[in-house]
């Protein structure tokens, strides 16, 4: 064999080795990419400035790699029939859909096994934002526009109970299941129903308030009245004079004079994505109960029943239209993705450690 032939053979051997090891290294990097957050999501105890970041701007697949699998899946809002894959529901959620958070079966008995399961799930899926003890100071918390709920103080925003009361178990279950639009709290409908109840049990164990008090019954209200021109006009007058416009803006775009001073951004009603929901009943419930722990107060004692309905009807009149489809409320016009919601869904998929996004069966 000549020297040239030897060099050619040596070159081919080196080339093949480079290709093989390059492929192995590339696969390893991809695996590492899937396992780690998109950016440096962390805080430095020695520094007062938070350096955590969430990708901003339009949706870019490389910025939300695991969320891409949800986006590429079918959406329940465009599916011909309601399937059993919860990924379809999560995709619809990213499009602005409002999910049904009601349980399908009675809640399980709370015993040591359920509590232990809830503690394990909380550490794995929730502590990154809410903190290991439920103090709202998890390592991802400083990356969020809306601060994570603090679970160890017994103060809950999303309740069907009166102002400053504890939530019912069903309230906590509903929030876990359907997520909170406009925030990084994703819909955990991807978890089996029993696991969601286990999380309810653990969340309650984080606050002594549940040992010292019990949740009252949900607030009872009459059905919503018809949205007449007279009621809408009365609602707008109250909206302007009753303090709503100072935070949410004259046109409901979340740009009121006081908005910049609030630690939680006021809702932009014209974009939808309500924390609770955009139906008249949802808006009325928010006015009745308030969002404890936020600047959104209860108006139950400062407005008459008619006034509360008039303001609710007015706010609902400027929200985007929704249609009932396949068991959920879908946006009539698909809205741009919200980066905070994408971040939450991406982290949810990461903590689920899903590498193959096949059909995940929802409990029947």
Parts of the chain belonging to CATH 1.10.760.10? 101-218+337-352, 229-317
User: Which run of H or of E encompasses 193?
Assistant: helix 193-205
Tell me the DSSP string of 58-107. S--GGGGHHHHHHHHSPPTTT-SS--S-HHHHHHHHHTT-B-----SSPP
Q: By the 8 A CB rule, do 239 and 253 touch?
A: no
114 burial level (CB within 10 Å; 0-12, 13-18, 19+): buried
Torsion angles phi and psi, residue 331, rounded to 5: -70, 130
Q: How far apart are CA 151 and CA 209, in angstroms?
A: 10
Please give the pLDDT value at position 56.
66
For the chain, helix (H) and strand (E) counts, in that order, are 13, 2
Torsion angles phi and psi, residue 163, rounded to 5: -55, 135
Please give the pLDDT value at position 180.
97
Please give the pLDDT value at position 30.
36
Q: Residue 212: CB partners within 8 Å, gap ≥ 6?
A: none
Q: By the 8 A CB rule, do 347 and 100 touch?
A: no
Q: By the 8 A CB rule, do 304 and 315 touch?
A: no
Q: How far apart are CA 302 and CA 244, in angstroms?
A: 13
Please give the pLDDT value at position 52.
57
Q: By the 8 A CB rule, do 307 and 230 touch?
A: no
Q: How far apart are CA 167 and CA 155, in angstroms?
A: 9
Q: By the 8 A CB rule, do 39 and 54 touch?
A: yes
Please give the pLDDT value at position 289.
97
- Measured torsion, CA atoms of residues 134, 135, 136, 140, in degrees rounded to the nearest 10: -80
**Tokens at residue 262, please?**
């609030």
Cα diameter, the chain: 100
Q: How far apart are CA 75 and CA 95, in angstroms?
A: 8
User: Which CATH code fits 101-218+337-352?
Assistant: 1.10.760.10
Q: How far apart are CA 182 and CA 185, in angstroms?
A: 8
Please give the model's pTM, rounded to 2 decimal places.
Answer: 0.82
Three-state SS at 329:
strand
| Helix %, strand %, coil % of the chain (to 5) | 45, 0, 50
Q: For the chain (length 364 residues), average pLDDT per consecutive 10?
A: 38 38 40 37 41 65 77 88 85 96 95 97 95 94 91 96 97 98 96 97 98 95 96 97 94 94 91 95 97 94 96 97 93 90 91 52 39
Domain 229-317 class in CATH? mainly alpha
The position carrying tokens 């090891």 is: 21
């Amino acid at each position: 064999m000549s020297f040239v032939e030897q060099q050619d053979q040596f070159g081919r051997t080196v080339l093949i080795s480079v290709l093989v090891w390059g492929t192995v290294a590339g696969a390893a990097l991809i695996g590492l990419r899937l396992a780690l957050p998109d950016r440096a999501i962390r805080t430095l105890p020695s520094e007062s400035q938070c350096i955590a970041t969430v990708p901003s701007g339009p949706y870019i697949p490389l910025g939300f790699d695991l969320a891409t699998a949800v986006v590429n899946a079918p959406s329940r809002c465009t599916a011909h029939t309601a399937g059993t894959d919860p990924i379809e529901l999560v995709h619809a959620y990213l499009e602005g859909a409002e999910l049904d958070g009601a349980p399908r079966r009675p809640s399980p008995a709370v015993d040591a096994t359920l509590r232990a399961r809830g503690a394990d799930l909380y550490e794995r899926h929730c502590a990154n934002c809410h903190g290991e003890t439920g103090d709202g100071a998890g390592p991802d918390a400083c990356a969020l526009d809306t601060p994570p709920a603090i679970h160890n103080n017994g103060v809950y925003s999303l309740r069907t109970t009166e102002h400053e009361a504890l939530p019912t178990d069903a309230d906590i279950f509903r929030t876990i299941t359907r997520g909170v639009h406009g925030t990084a709290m994703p819909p955990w409908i991807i978890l089996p129903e029993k696991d969601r109840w286990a999380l309810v049990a653990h969340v309650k164990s984080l606050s002594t308030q549940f040992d010292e008090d019990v949740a009252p019954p949900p607030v009872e209200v009459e059905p919503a009245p018809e949205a007449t021109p007279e009621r809408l006009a009365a609602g707008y007058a109250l909206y302007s004079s009753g303090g709503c416009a100072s935070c949410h803006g004259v046109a409901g775009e979340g740009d009121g004079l006081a908005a910049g001073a609030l630690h939680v951004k006021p809702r932009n009603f014209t974009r939808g994505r309500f924390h609770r929901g955009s139906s008249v009943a949802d808006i009325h419930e928010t006015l009745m109960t308030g969002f404890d722990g936020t600047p959104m107060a209860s108006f139950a004692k400062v407005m008459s029943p008619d006034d509360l309905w008039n303001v609710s009807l007015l706010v609902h009149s400027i929200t985007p239209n929704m249609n009932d489809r396949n068991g959920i409320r879908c946006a009539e016009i698909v809205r741009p993705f919200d980066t905070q919601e994408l971040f939450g869904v991406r982290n949810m998929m990461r903590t689920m450690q899903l590498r193959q996004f096949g059909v995940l069966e929802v409990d029947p």
